A and B are shown apart, each in its own frame.
Chain A
Amino acid sequence: MPSATTSPSKKNAATALPVDTRRRWLRDMLLIREFEVRTMQAYQNRKIGGFCHVYIGQEAVAVGCTAAVEHKDPIITAYRDHGHALARGMEPKYCMAEMYGRIGGCAKGKGGSMHMFDKRNNMFGGHGIVGAQTALGAGLAFATKYQDEVIDEKQNTRVTLCFLGDGALNQGIFHESMNLAGLLDLPVIYIVENNGYSMGTSISRGTTMGHEITAKAAGYGMDSAVIDGMDVLNVYEGMKPLVDRCRETSRPCFVDMRTYRFKGHSMSDPRKYRTKDEEKKYESDDPIDKLANAMISDNELSQEDYDAMVKEVRKEVRDAMKWSENSPEPDVSELYKDVYVDEWGPFTGTSLPEMLKD
């Protein structure tokens, strides 16, 4: 049952995909990077409150995985969720306004950095409690399969991607979810974004079998794969067959996605637990530079095109910040809205965010 470790070569992937597709991924990664850099700035300028976890360094994972599935496939992740939301197609302004705590945010400013939801794009949220979303991921997969097979009486057509950090491996709920997914044949792929640290604790200090976490999957009878998450082409090539197989067989699988976060766990993390050298090494493995350089050297992209792309993305993010700045704070009446669907007592029912009204 333990499965083949897939790590297709970058060259094959690069040549197999249309240039436009790769340009789009490059742009998506640049957008996430720029967005997160400005998020840090906005946080430091006190525009953003609370906890804030940025995705810098891991962009290839969200972009590559999203590319490997269809839009109808549900996605759910933990609290480092801005990248997934953007990769899934949420407009940066809704994401940024959410962190600004403004009514224009994807959750009307009630969720914050850790709770990016986008119903239209089948993004079932960022979730704050480590590992809690793994059970929800199983439930999403259960629902899609149930809808297809029990209600519509057809074949299962959808796959759920459930992201988690390597820190979640040690939560009980993760194991319960894996067990149920295996037991009930749920079409869910658990993708561990293994950046080596759960907050400040390295995986070797916190997780047994941390050097080979696919062993966890074996215990639940799941196929698994190890994928280099610092290369978007590689991520896509690795994920695509897993997704296809999952859709076809309706069996869950597990991915050890090797990646690295360039920044701290959260905005107040001084990163004393790891060396500058280690950081340098990974920074030189930047997934954005990697794809850009490859495309430029293969004459698929000119330096000018790339510079223009960077500029364009900057403007898009700056506009998102401006838009967020101008979006009003939620009216106090929002306090008692969305607690219950119906109105009773002091509760005033529910309404959709602007994002879904367009």
Chain B
Amino acid sequence: MSDAMREDKRVFLMGEEVAEYNGAYKVSRGMLDEFGPRRIIDTPISEGGFAGLGIGAAMHGLRPIIEFMSWSFSLVAADQILNNAPKMLYMSGGQFGCPIVFRGNNGAGGQLGSTHSWCVESLYSNVPGAKIAIPFDPYDAKGLLRTAILDPNPVFVLESERLLSIKGEVPEESYEIPFAEALIRRSGSDCTIVSFGRPLYFCLEAAEQLAKEGIDCEVIDGRTIRPLDIDTIVKSVRKTNYCVVVDQSWPFASVSSEIAAQVHMRCFDDLDNHVFRVNNDDVPAPYAYNLEQEMLPNARKIVEAVRAVTYNA
């Protein structure tokens, strides 16, 4: 973010607690000192207001980065981020684009209860006009965010609260990670596992366990949901003949159901079993630790799904 702000004065950051508090999750640490209060702007708890403000500013040529402390809170701004941002270019017949980045934490964080545990990717990816990126690690977080800021369309960057604490190698210099380029995090020949963001850690864990059982899994990090790199997924499934999609949102009309549908359409003749899905359970997020853990995708569920899809159950 700081790199982009140094290069382009049109870029500013706005959100709850981004400035004086250094960000609720310390993402924007030190940025207020460098860029000052005109470009690092604290807002009241008023998501609809500042989301809409950002969109208006983007229509007039700025490149706002709007931070939601949690994507769970973006729902009160749904009209702005779903009705205005992604449709402006279309409604105006190509006159007004909306180059804006919405970012924030996404996903069940740990006993936060039903309203604070949203995974919005399935809900939001239903709407054409916006792009959605989900970084897996610090390296991707930096590269995908930079691409998002440079993108002329609205982009939702769904970070994971649980990944923020993970440290990884991040180059000093600026770099972009192009959208619609999935990354094979682990290559294998027996079963394809597709996921985004945090659940990928569970996928990799599951893959190690399965390797010991003689099932060699290929784990694909989609990186962006819109645009979706279905080609990489299809290529892998053509090789393995099996596919499991791991998605931390609810199963009904979800990212996983979309990928499953596309895989079935694109490589039906290469499948030896229907696509299996591992999702959040179809219930509101519970508070109790054990129940919440049971509800989320985890390595055990993924292992079971892979065994089942490959007829090794």
Contacts and interface: CB of A to CB of B under 8 A. Distances in A.
B287 interface: no
Interface in A132-160: 132, 134-144, 146-147, 149-151
Contacts of A356: 95
A110 B89 CA distance: 10
B80 interface: yes
Given A142-B56, A340-B129, A344-B180, A108 B48 contact: no
Given A135-B80, A138-B52, A111 B92 contact: yes
Contact of B58 (A108, A137, A139, A147): A139
A351 B60 CA distance: 18
A129 interface: yes
A350 interface: yes
A173 interface: yes
Interface string A268-310: 0000000000000000000000000000000000000000000
A117 B95 contact: yes
A30 to B, nearest CB: 28
B46 A125 contact: no
A146 B52 contact: no
A129 B46 contact: no
A306 B180 CA distance: 62
A150 B9 CA distance: 8
Contacts of B49: 135, 138, 173, 176-177, 179-180
Interface residue range, chain A: 35 or more
A107 B91 contact: yes
B95 A107 contact: yes
B69 to A, nearest CB: 16
Contact of B48 (A105, A118, A135, A339): A135
B153 A340 contact: yes
A196 interface: no
Nearest to A143: B60
A147 B58 CA distance: 12
B96 interface: yes
B56 A338 contact: no
Given A147-B61, A150-B9, A180-B43, A139 B56 contact: yes
B53 interface: yes
Interface residues of B, number: 47
A163 interface: no
A180 B41 CA distance: 11
A124 B59 contact: yes
Contacts of A105: 93
Nearest to B61: A143
Contacts of B57: 139-140, 142-143, 146
B52 A338 contact: no
Contacts of B79: 129, 132, 173
A146 B12 CA distance: 10
A134 B80 CA distance: 11
Contacts of B43: 180
B50 interface: yes
Contacts of A132: 52, 79-80, 83-84
B230 to A, nearest CB: 9
Given A108-B94, A132-B79, A143-B62, A338 B89 contact: yes
Nearest to A141: B56
B52 A177 contact: yes
B300 interface: no
B54 interface: yes
A350 B94 contact: yes
A357 to B, nearest CB: 11
Contacts of B152: 341-342
Contacts of A2: none
13 contacts: A111-B91, A117-B91, A124-B59, A136-B59, A136-B84, A139-B57, A143-B58, A150-B9, A173-B80, A179-B44, A180-B49, A344-B180, A356-B95
Given A135-B48, A143-B56, A340-B89, 17 more contacts: A115-B92, A135-B52, A139-B56, A141-B56, A142-B53, A142-B62, A144-B60, A146-B12, A147-B60, A149-B38, A150-B39, A151-B10, A173-B52, A176-B49, A179-B44, A340-B129, A341-B97
Name the 9 nearest CB pairs between A and B, nearest first: A139-B56, A135-B52, A176-B49, A107-B93, A143-B60, A136-B56, A117-B92, A108-B93, A341-B152
